[in-house]
Amino acid sequence: MNKTRRLIIVIAVFAVSFAFLFPTIQWYLTPKEDQATAIGSREQIRDYSRQMAYSALADIKSKAAAGDTTDLSKKYDVVTVVAKKAYKDSKRPIPKEMSPANLLMAFSNERSMFDAIEAKYREHVLSLKNLHGNAIQLGLDLAGGMSVVIQADMNALSEKLGHQVTTTEREDAMTRAVEVLNSRIDQFGLTEPVIRRQGTDQIYIEIPGAADPERINSIIMGKGNLAFYIVDSEATSALNKYLTSNPLGVNEATMTVSQTGIIPEGKAIRKVYKKDSYGLDEFTGEYLVVEGKPGLDGSHVQSATVSSDQITGQPETNFVLDKAGGDLFYALTNASVGKSLAVVLDDRVKSYARIQEPIRESVRITGFSSDEAQNLATLLRTAALPLSMSVANQQAIGASLGEDTIAQGKNAVIVGLLAVFIFMFAYYKGAGINATVAQILNLFIMISVLTAFKLTLSLSSIAGFVLTVGMAVDANVVIFERIKEEIIIGKSRKATIEAGFHKAFWAIMDSNITTIIAAVFMAQLGSGSIQGFAISLAIGNITSLFTSLFVSRLIFDYQTDVLHKKSVSISWRIR
């Protein structure tokens, strides 16, 4: 391969590596207070955004009332941004100074100003939260937190199904259980949790960061109550008519109304919710009156997907019921054609639609946007755990251990690099500097690969990196020794470098491939720290092959063709 192609490949690899690593760089350059806000729950982010908007608006109003003409663009940069946009959208000239009065005049009323400021804070914090999700993640041993091993009860599943659980049924139940747990744990807003299968009937969960074990266990093991209710349209209309003259007529604690005759006996009032801009359930202000007992329990849902109507192209949610559920649902819908069916999760109406015809096992629900249809499908899949589960093991790790470990790991990498640099320079002179530069770039690529595949940086991963730093120069040593042999027989610089890399190629490939094969087997057969060590070792070997064969060669070629060097600085004994 000629040096031009080699240069293009090297530039491309480093450009891609930087693109993968850029979110991590951005995240760790973010101020600590902003990081703390971003990793909070969505409820905390909502409270923060609203509090900041209330505080800013109150201060600006107070200053405006006092006749203060100070430019507030630096103090309230977020407010200034939305104010300028408001002026621009209304095609008015933007004031040179953003005084309190000018900030207030940007908006038609205080509510629109508050909404605009809150939206800006929300966008900023949620963008940081997304940035954190794309940055390199610290494992449990570095960030602290807790680990939980959950045991599935296959005997209970067999009793529920009425026969011995097949391999397919077990795999499907475990897959759905992982999906449910992913959905539930996501509401913590912490560092991305690690949730994976362990063996045939266990699920291993790691939640880095500060966490309340009791709260986590309640959410992990809680039973999402999904059910389908028939809507009483007449009673719903009567309730809405009553609420027009009595806005506070529904007792929120008991979900009842004091006036008799509006809600028939055996019926219940439920609130309708939709996702707000924070991804949280928000009451729409709409109430439905439904049957007191559900027509079908959500545990009968076997699968749920999203598709498009072949004629209209509109998104639709499809779900499949088991045999017993299909029979129950057919009887329910056959007796309720023309009525509405409400999908209720934990007493919250998530959606409702009119029943057009009797439905058996396969159910199709339309009338949603693409996102809403996807959310509904997720809701149907993850509403309730398909298995009875119990906590088999739980451990907590303090964050202080992680901070000490990160510092020690960083020091180990730095000391390792310095030791390699000193040895390589002392033994190989200028070529040793070449090897050290290649290994520094090797670490850069290793970390970017770790980020690209969203792998977790753990203590064992750091150990793999440190070991790689020492092992990675092996390839350079083999190449340099080959080059020295070529110099001794009197070849020119360009010829010695060409021959040295060519003759060392297969020796380097053989040694690294065997290490990579061993690391792959360790990653597949091992778990936890062994798996983390094996993955980082495999990544390190692959990237060191690239830096040794491509980057080191490119440095030599640059010295030959650009700096016009005639000899190779590779040994104190060879001139």
Distance CA 53, CA 82 (A): 12
- Residue 106 structure tokens: 């940007």
Looking at residue 343, the DSSP 8-state letter turns out to be E
Give the chain's count of helices (H) and strands (E): 19, 17
In the block, tokens 């109406």 appear at 349
**pLDDT given for residue 99 in this prediction:** 92
Rounded to the nearest 5°, which phi and psi values hold at 275? Answer: -75, 135
Contact 10, 554 (CB under 8 A): yes
Q: Return all residues near 66 (Cβ < 8 A) that are at least 6 apart.
A: none
CA angle 299, 305, 307 (to 5 degrees): 150
Q: Return all residues near 358 (Cβ < 8 A) that are at least 6 apart.
A: 330, 333, 334, 337
**pLDDT given for residue 93 in this prediction:** 92
Q: Check: CATH 3.30.1360 for 226-369?
A: yes
Contact 134, 30 (CB under 8 A): no
Looking at residue 366, the DSSP 8-state letter turns out to be -
Distance CA 254, CA 248 (A): 13
Distance CA 82, CA 511 (A): 59
The correct CATH number of 3-23+400-561 out of 1.10.730.10, 1.20.1640.10, 1.10.3720.10, 2.60.40.1180 is: 1.20.1640.10
pTM of full prediction above 0.75:
no
Exposed e or buried b per residue across 77-87, where buried means at least 16 C-beta atoms within 10 angstroms of its C-beta: ebbbebbbebb
- Which residue spans within 309-449 are E strands per DSSP? 315-321, 340-345, 348-354, 362-365, 388-397
Q: What CATH fold (topology level) applies to the domain 145-221?
A: Alpha-Beta Plaits (3.30.70)
Contact 400, 196 (CB under 8 A): no
- Residue 534 structure tokens: 């094996």
Task: Count how many residues are written for the chain.
Answer: 575
Contact 147, 205 (CB under 8 A): yes
Contact 135, 450 (CB under 8 A): no
**pLDDT given for residue 189 in this prediction:** 40
3-state secondary structure 189-255: CCCCCEEEEECCCEEEEEEECCCCHHHHHHHHHCCCCEEEEEECHHHHHHHHHHHHHCCCCEECCCC
User: Of 395, 467, 397, which Cα lies nearest the Cα of 141?
Assistant: 397
Distance CA 201, CA 154 (A): 8
Q: Tell me which residues of the chain have a pLDDT lower than 70.
A: 1, 140-141, 183-193, 208-225, 361, 365-387, 396-403, 405-406, 526-529, 573-575
- Residue 343 structure tokens: 């999908």
Distance CA 317, CA 366 (A): 7
Distance CA 268, CA 20 (A): 52
- Residue 138 structure tokens: 């610290």
Residues of the chain with CATH 3.30.1360: 226-369
**pLDDT given for residue 35 in this prediction:** 86
Contact 20, 132 (CB under 8 A): no
Question: Which amino acid belongs to residue 239?
Answer: L
Question: Which amino acid belongs to residue 287?
Answer: Y
Q: 3-29 and 552-561 helices cross at what angle (nearest 10)?
A: 120
**pLDDT given for residue 367 in this prediction:** 56
Residues of the chain with CATH 1.20.1640.10: 3-23+400-561
Residues of the chain with CATH 3.30.70.3400: 145-221
Which residues are bridge partners to 388 per DSSP?
A: 153
Distance CA 487, CA 491 (A): 5
